[in-house]
């Protein structure tokens, strides 16, 4: 029969080994967490930089993009912390259509999508809530040729898929309830 002290020493040794194993795991997880956070910050900075490059000079800022334009004036201290990323105010041509949500306005869409939704809004207030792609094309002032109508149709399908518009019957579109509510 083993002694009580011997049994306690065995269990103490097993517990100490388990603690050492867990400390190694925690240290490894901490290092991986730090690496993941660093990678995330790098992607955040990359997205910010690409956004700056793609937005180009904004109206009224054309003269500011010279040498030293990115330097501080010395009155504000420079920080190494990543800047807050603002939500996009207005999209550029060729951008994707975000999924509609209550906090999102039509300004988040590219200009051609804004024109289409404005057309639907105007026609709905004028008593014509549901429109075909041919009608939308005509109201937009585009030539009623197949490529123009097809372009409007693909944009309307995308708007409907993302919750900005509804397609109550195939080929006929209306403004969705959410965006129509002015949210």
Q: What integer is the mean pLDDT of 127-140?
A: 92
Residue 141 in contact with residue 98, Cβ under 8 Å? no
- Quick one: pLDDT at residue 146? 92
Handedness of CA 160, 161, 167, 168 (dihedral sign): negative
Does residue 66 fall inside a structural domain?
no
Does residue 77 fall inside a structural domain?
no
Q: What integer is the mean pLDDT of 171-183?
A: 76
- Residue 37: give the domain boundaries: 4-55
Does residue 97 fall inside a structural domain?
no
Q: Tell me the backbone φ, ψ of residue 155, rounded to 5 degrees.
A: -70, -40
Q: What integer is the mean pLDDT of 146-161?
A: 92
Does residue 161 fall inside a structural domain?
yes
Residue with tokens 């040498």: 67
Does residue 112 fall inside a structural domain?
yes
Does residue 89 fall inside a structural domain?
no
Q: Is the pLDDT of residue 25 over 60?
A: yes
pLDDT band at 129 (very low <50, low <70, confident <90, very high): confident
**Average pLDDT of the chain to the nearest whole number:** 79
- Quick one: pLDDT at residue 98? 85
pLDDT band at 101 (very low <50, low <70, confident <90, very high): confident
Q: What integer is the mean pLDDT of 58-85?
A: 49
Same domain, 175 and 115: yes
Q: Is the pLDDT of residue 170 over 70?
A: yes
Q: What is the rounded distance in angstroms from the CA atom of residue 97 to the CA atom of residue 154?
A: 12
Does residue 170 fall inside a structural domain?
yes
- Quick one: pLDDT at residue 14? 93
Same domain, 51 and 112: no
pTM: 0.47
pLDDT band at 156 (very low <50, low <70, confident <90, very high): very high
Q: What integer is the mean pLDDT of 133-161?
A: 92
Domain count, the chain: 2
Q: Is the pLDDT of residue 42 over 90?
A: no
Does residue 93 fall inside a structural domain?
no
Q: What angle do CA 98, 104, 106 make, to 5 degrees?
A: 80
Reference 173, options 94, 109, 117, 105; nearest CA is 117
Higher confidence at residue 56 or residue 28? 28
Task: CATH number of the domain at 141, please.
Answer: 1.10.10.10
């Amino acid at each position: 029969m083993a002694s009580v002290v011997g049994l306690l020493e065995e269990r103490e040794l097993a517990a100490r080994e388990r603690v050492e194993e867990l400390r190694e795991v925690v240290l490894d997880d901490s290092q991986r967490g730090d690496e993941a956070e660093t990678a995330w910050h790098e992607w955040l900075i990359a997205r910010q930089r690409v956004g700056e490059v793609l937005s180009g000079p904004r109206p009224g800022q054309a003269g500011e993009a010279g040498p030293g334009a990115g330097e501080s004036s010395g009155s504000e201290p420079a920080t190494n912390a990543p800047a807050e990323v603002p939500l996009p105010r207005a999209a550029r041509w060729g951008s994707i259509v975000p999924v509609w949500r209550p906090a999102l306005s039509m300004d988040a869409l590219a200009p051609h999508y804004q024109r289409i939704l404005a057309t639907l809004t105007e026609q709905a207030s004028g008593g014509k809530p549901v429109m075909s792609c041919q009608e939308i094309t005509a109201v937009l002032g585009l030539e009623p040729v197949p490529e123009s109508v097809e372009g409007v149709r693909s944009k309307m399908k995308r708007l409907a898929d993302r919750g900005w518009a509804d397609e109550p019957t195939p080929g006929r579109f209306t403004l969705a309830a959410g965006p129509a509510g002015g949210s």
